[in-house]
Amino acid sequence: MIITGNRERRVAIGMAAVLVVGGVLTGTPAVAGSAHPRVAVDRSVSTSYGSGGAVSSVDRSASEVGIQVLKRGGNAVDAAVATAAALGVTEPYSAGIGGGGYFVYFDADTGEVTTLDGRETAPAGITPDAFLDPATGAPYPFSPELVSSGVAVGVPGTLATWDTALERFGSLPLARVLAPAIRLANRGFEVDATFRNQTLDNAERFAAFPGTAELFLPGGDAPEVGTTFRNRDLAHTLALIALNGPEYFYEGRLAGEIADVVQNPRKDPDSSLPVPAGTLSIDDLAGYSVTEQAPTRVSYRGLDVYGMAPSSSGGTTVGEALNILENHELGSGEHLGSSLHFFLEASARAFADRGAYVGDPAFVDVPTETLLSQAFADARDCTIDPNEASERPVAAGALDGSGCSTVSFPEREDTENVSTTHLSVVDAEGNAVAYTLTIEQTGGSGMTVPNRGFLLNNELTDFSTVYNEDDPNRIEAGKRPRSSMAPTIVLDDGEVRFVLGSPGGATIITTVLQILINRIDLGMTLPEAVAAPRASQRNAAATPAEPEFIDEYAEVLEPFGQVLVPSGDTFTSAAQIGAAAAIEVEPSGRMIAAAEPVRRGGGAGLVVRDAR
């Protein structure tokens, strides 16, 4: 049933009331929320130890939603989708139904790992010159002009991912799993410094779109810390999706509204932003599909590391770097400088090969098997001097396997943004989910669908800005832009050992890689591995690093000629790299849920039964 006209909003309000007060059409109590209208955020619980299931994310309210689903009998997939929907409420600038992502699932009964590619796609009407200003023939300035535009919006895949995951692996219907997010959006959450600062960082862009300004800049200012932020428009939208199914988003009235906003951006006439229109249509939305595919897999120190295959570059790049490092004995103490040197050199080579070879496999012949082979990694490893940093950028590896030979490719700008969010879940039966989702830029395109409560992505800016026939990440209609999202599940003799991932654009890859090395090779506990300072070598002359990393490790890296520079990003002055969410299952069965203690305001790792 598709509801139209003024009745839509009345039914949405009524449906939201059913979901919030009495569960989803069954009389079952809703699975999350308290009687108090404000959800307090306790940042002190970034790590928990226990059993019965675990959830880790960047937001405590969202992690609590996932834990409540597990406590009420839902499995890892149910909890992951519920947590993701809640993150769309509390982290609206990083995730939501206007975006896409990658979902990695381990089934404890079958021992199989399955991935769902819910990446946004380029609309059928996009052209190779889509990012060029017709008035000048030159590329639009990347930010804020190109970012804040209809032409940057890809066909969203998040809702289709949720529906597919629940149909394939879940135990609860979508309507019931959306209930906690609807409740959270209605009752609101307490604004913290991160939410206010992200709003202020994007205030100029948000102000250019009246619908966005009305929602996120009430009275012309970002919500104050400590106040309650409610998004009842989003609650109504999710309630309608719960009632009508995903078809309402992809084929119903909402599909028409999304397409109209992209093709006719609602811009304040006083804004100086050009806001070029896009071509996304209702046919593009109706034709969207999630791709189920085999994961990437490498063996590292006797563990099986599974990740996301292209269109993401996360699995191949993390996997290649681990294969290179497999040749070296890493450790702390007197070996620390050498270990970090190899980490940086392996990362540089993996990124060189990522840029040369990885794109959407539906359009590009991606040599995934070669990139993940130990023979290829050995050939790349032989280009590393164990005592001296390479002159970077390094060349890509030759695919013909001829010794240490390399192939030169033109350098290409990587415009993938540092926002996004990640969640990790393990249930009592040992099923696990690593799920990274995004709307790209912090705040996405800056455009909301009026009165719908969610931001549209700007994911198409992950394509190369200038079209080149030899570029695997060139713009093409129906294509998925290359991503660095790297949701990862690590198995030990067929059972879950680690589940992890992070936001951070291209730094996602190095963050996941560094956490694995910290935990497996350098003797850190999982919470220590997540909290440790980070560096991100992405085949550049110098390595961007957090100030704490420079303070702690510059001295041991100096003999190797490794140059460290303070990290930052294009759009803010923040120097933090990533915001990871991880889980470890010890051989005893005890679970450790570890989220960031500080980065991006701190996260929350929670367990069903706390051992403390």
**What pLDDT is recorded for position 411?**
65
Which residue in the list 164, 199, 317, 420 is annotated as catalytic?
420
pLDDT of amino acid 526: 98
Q: What percent of the chain has pLDDT over 70?
A: 90
pLDDT for res 414: 61
Measured CA distances, 496 to 48, 431, 500, 588, 589 (Å) = 17, 8, 11, 12, 10
pLDDT at 568: 66
The mean per-residue pLDDT over the stretch 432-457 comes to: 96
pLDDT of residue 314: 97
Q: Of 198, 391, 20, which is closest to residue 206 (Cα–Cα)?
A: 198
**Which two three-digit tokens encode residue 362?**
């539906």
- The answer to whether residue 287 scores a pLDDT higher than 80 is yes
pLDDT of residue 4 exceeding 60:
no
Report the pLDDT value the prediction gives residue 274, as an integer from 0 to 100: 87
pTM of this structure: 0.92
Q: Which of 284-293, 410-419, 483-492 has the lowest mean pLDDT?
A: 410-419
CA distances from 467 to 277, 461, 506 (A): 19, 12, 20
pLDDT band with cut points at 50, 70 and 90 for residue 304: very high
Model confidence at 15: pLDDT above 80: no
Q: What's the pLDDT band for 567 if we cut at 50, 70, 90? A: confident
Q: Is the pLDDT of residue 28 over 90?
A: no
Sequence-ordered list of residues with C-beta below 8 angstroms from that of 19, at least 6 positions apart, any chain: 30, 175, 178, 179, 182, 183, 239, 242
Question: What's at 278, amino acid-wise?
Answer: G
Per DSSP, what are the bridge partners of residue 257?
none
Predicted confidence band of residue 13 (pLDDT cuts 50, 70, 90)? very low
**What CA–CA distances, in Å, run from 395 to 307, 352, 383?**
25, 6, 10
Q: What is the pLDDT of residue 66?
A: 98
Predicted pLDDT at 493: 97
pLDDT at 6 over 50: no
- Residue 554 φ/ψ region, left for φ over 0, alpha for ψ in the -120 to 50 degree band, beta for the rest: alpha
pLDDT at 27: 30
pLDDT attached to residue 36 = 25
605, 583 in Cβ contact below 8 A? yes
Q: How many angstroms separate the CA atoms of 213 and 268, rounded?
A: 10
Asked if 564 and 534 count as a contact pair (C-beta separation under 8 A), the reply is: no
Confidence of residue 574 (pLDDT cuts 50, 70, 90): low
Q: Please report how the helices 60-71 and 174-187 are oriented relative to each other, as an axis angle in degrees rounded to 10.
A: 140
Is 420 among the catalytic positions? yes
Q: What percent of the chain has pLDDT over 90?
A: 82
Residue spans of the domains in the chain: they are 7-291+418-462
Q: Which range scores top for mean pLDDT: 19-33, 409-423, 580-594?
A: 580-594
pLDDT(166) > 90: yes
Residue with the bigger pLDDT between 288 and 29: it is 288
pLDDT tens figures, 111-165: 999 999 999 999 999 999 898 888 888 888 877 778 999 999 999 999 999 999 9
**Mean pLDDT value across the chain:** 90
Peptide bond into 141 cis (omega under 30): no
